[in-house]
């Protein structure tokens, strides 16, 4: 064996001997994690209720056996805490067709839109337009990558929904203007607001 490999072998042996008492707990903890991953993968295509029942049994076993893990017990507590926070929506994907098990793809979509927005505007943060009109700009950014649209494709098919969406965007834009006016001159903004509130109602 080359001298360098021999030295590496001795270092590994020394490290394994020094941590030998920790390996049983690590094997147990990793066994639980891998078992959870296999259950959630659901290769047998079982219904959500079945997966939920088996998964709860695994969580109960983890809770009962956490004291045997020594210094890894807080890691089990963290796993149980995070699982409890995601629990209510964790099993719907097994019963709803085409529902992805995670929102990773959605987050990647948002991240891609933010990236292209920064490239186009030079801003490090999200532009005000994306914040105010994100409900339509995000959809437009994603849809236009999939296909090209002609003029007739953009014609509204539901005028009431289109009008409601326009009104919602107008309200958000007006709220953005009010914030800008307040930041520019807080005293004048508050004075005008107080004046408007103190105006007597006009009789019809």
What's the pLDDT at 201?
A: 58
Rounded average pLDDT over 151-158: 82
Q: Residue 103 has which token pair?
A: 């929102």
Determine the Cα–Cα distance for residues 160 and 166; give it in Å rounded to an integer: 10
Rounded average pLDDT over 62-72: 87
Q: Residue 160 has which token pair?
A: 């009431």
Has residue 203 got a pLDDT over 70?
no
End-to-end CA distance of the chain: 101
- The pLDDT tens digits of the residues spanning 84-129 come to 888 888 888 888 888 888 888 878 887 887 787 777 777 777 677 7
Q: Which of 21-25, 88-92, 123-127, 158-162 has the lowest mean pLDDT?
A: 123-127
Determine the Cα–Cα distance for residues 62 and 29; give it in Å rounded to an integer: 8
From its phi and psi, is residue 45 left (phi > 0), alpha (psi between -120 and 50) or beta? left
Rounded average pLDDT over 144-164: 83
142 and 105 in contact (C-beta within 8 Å)?
Answer: no
171 and 177 in contact (C-beta within 8 Å)?
Answer: no
pTM for this model (two decimals): 0.58
């Amino acid at each position: 064996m080359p001298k360098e490999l021999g030295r590496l072998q001795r270092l590994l042996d020394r490290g394994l001997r020094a941590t030998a008492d920790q390996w049983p707990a690590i094997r147990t903890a990793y066994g639980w994690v891998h078992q959870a991953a296999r259950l959630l993968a659901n290769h047998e295509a079982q219904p959500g209720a079945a997966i939920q029942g088996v998964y709860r049994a695994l969580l109960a076993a983890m809770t009962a056996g956490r004291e045997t893990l020594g210094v890894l017990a807080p890691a089990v507590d963290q796993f149980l805490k995070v699982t409890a926070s995601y629990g209510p929506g964790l099993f719907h994907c097994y019963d709803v067709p085409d529902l992805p098990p995670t929102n990773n793809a959605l987050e990647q979509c948002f991240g891609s839109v933010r990236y292209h927005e920064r490239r186009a505007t030079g801003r490090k943060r999200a532009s005000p337009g994306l914040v105010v009109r994100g409900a339509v700009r995000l959809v437009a950014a994603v849809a236009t990558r999939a296909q090209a649209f002609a003029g007739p494709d953009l014609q509204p098919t539901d005028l009431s929904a289109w009008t409601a969406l326009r009104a919602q965007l107008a309200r958000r834009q007006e709220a953005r203007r009010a914030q800008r006016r307040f930041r520019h001159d807080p005293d004048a903004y508050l004075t005008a607001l107080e004046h408007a509130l103190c105006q007597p109602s006009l009789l019809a």
